Amino acid sequence: MKNNETKVYLDFSNSKGEKCSPTQIEEIRQLFNTNPQVKEIFKNSINNVLRKVFPENYYLKGGYSEGESYGIYELEQPGRSVINKLNTNYSCFCVLLRDVNKVLSSMQKPIIIFKFQTTQGQIIEVKKFITIIEQYEDRIFNPKSFTFQSLMMVLGQTHAWGQKREDSNVEILKKQFGLTNVVPVGKLGSSEDMIGGVDCEIIINNERKTAQIKPFTHLIGEQNLTFVMGAGNVKKYKTDWLIFSKNNKEILVFDNKNSKIIDGNFVFNKENLIYTLS
């Protein structure tokens, strides 16, 4: 058993600075968006793992400071850690899956496969996946582990990209609606962002509109419907508006009323597109 454990430790330590390929990441994005149960099982497991691995850094809601949500603080930086975003990050899921499968291959055991599985088959696979993560949680989430370093690199990068997108889009929105009428709300750990999905609030005609800001790659029109493609994590939001940004320049503002999710993509009635900005 000791030999196997040593092999596992070494396998989790040979992927320094590596990310998954765009194709691999897209496969996991589609998995999350078309089978939300997989994402939910992964999310709940990671929340439990982080709480156990970093007990001295874990705070309940409001425990770190007033208004802050539960999670890990004072890890790689002052305040809330980016590791709290691991639980829904499909790029990190991909890194973990790649490294877990390396371990399984080295031990001559069946690897975890999601592609070409049925919905139920994917659920079975993710349960196997999290069992392994939980079994080796102390090694995977050891700051000296190269797997952990890869995860933190990906999280730091995606957080920075997301913040840049949000900041750029807020500036464009201010040009349209007025400097004082657009207020960024979401921050790392804010309850508005985590629970309500609110990135910013916009005052228009003395009425407050909440908005979630997401990326997109292109649109597909079908009869009276508009499919928004490449929007990252796709889930239902309760915000008034969904705002999509392409290259931080082109902005599409949709009324979120009666929006749908079909095949892992946001779908709107064409009349729901209320602003096109740049």
The answer to whether residues 181 and 247 belong to one domain is yes
Residue-wise pLDDT tens digits, 70-116: 999 999 999 999 999 999 999 999 999 999 999 899 889 999 999 99
**Per-residue confidence band for 187, with pLDDT thresholds at 50, 70 and 90:** low
Q: Which domain holds residue 129?
A: 2-158
Number of H helices, E strands in the chain: 8, 12
> Do 164 and 105 share a structural domain?
no
- Which residues neighbour 211 within 8 Å (Cβ) at sequence distance 6 or greater? 198, 199, 200, 201, 202, 239, 240, 241, 242, 243, 253
**Is it the case that residue 2 has pLDDT exceeding 90?**
no
Q: Read off the pLDDT of each residue in 132-152 and give the average, rounded to a whole number.
A: 94
**Rounded Cα distance, 243 and 149, in Å:** 32
- Are residues 241 and 117 part of one domain? no
Q: Which residues contact 25 (CB under 8 A, 6 or more apart)?
A: 19, 90, 91, 94
- One domain for residues 212 and 223: yes
Evaluate if residue 188 carries a pLDDT over 80: no
Taking phi first (over 0 means left), then psi (-120 to 50 degrees means alpha), and beta for anything else, what does residue 120 get? alpha
Number of domains in the chain: 2
Position with higher pLDDT, 69 vs 191: 69
204 and 214 belong to one structural domain: yes
Same domain as 177, residue 40: no
Confidence of residue 6 (pLDDT cuts 50, 70, 90): very low
- Separation of alpha carbons 204 and 218, rounded Å: 27
262 with 272, same domain? yes
pLDDT confidence of 185, banded at 50, 70, 90? confident
pLDDT value, residue 174: 94
Q: Is the pLDDT of residue 1 over 60?
A: no
In CATH, what number is assigned to the domain containing residue 187? 3.40.1350
At 4, the pLDDT band (50, 70, 90 cuts) reads: very low
Distances (CA, A) of 254 to 18, 219, 257, 258: 36, 13, 9, 11
In angstroms, the CA 152 to CA 147 distance is 9
How far, in Å, CA of 80 to CA of 225, rounded?
40
Per-residue model confidence (pLDDT) at position 80: 92
SS3 251: strand
H or E element, residue 222: strand 218-222
Model confidence over 204-224: pLDDT tens digits?
A: 999 999 999 999 999 999 889
Higher-pLDDT residue of 57, 103: 57
Verify that 147 and 163 share a domain, yes or no.
Answer: no
Mention every residue, 6+ apart, whose C-beta is less than 8 A from residue 27: 94, 114, 115
Pull the structure tokens for residue 63: 């425990």
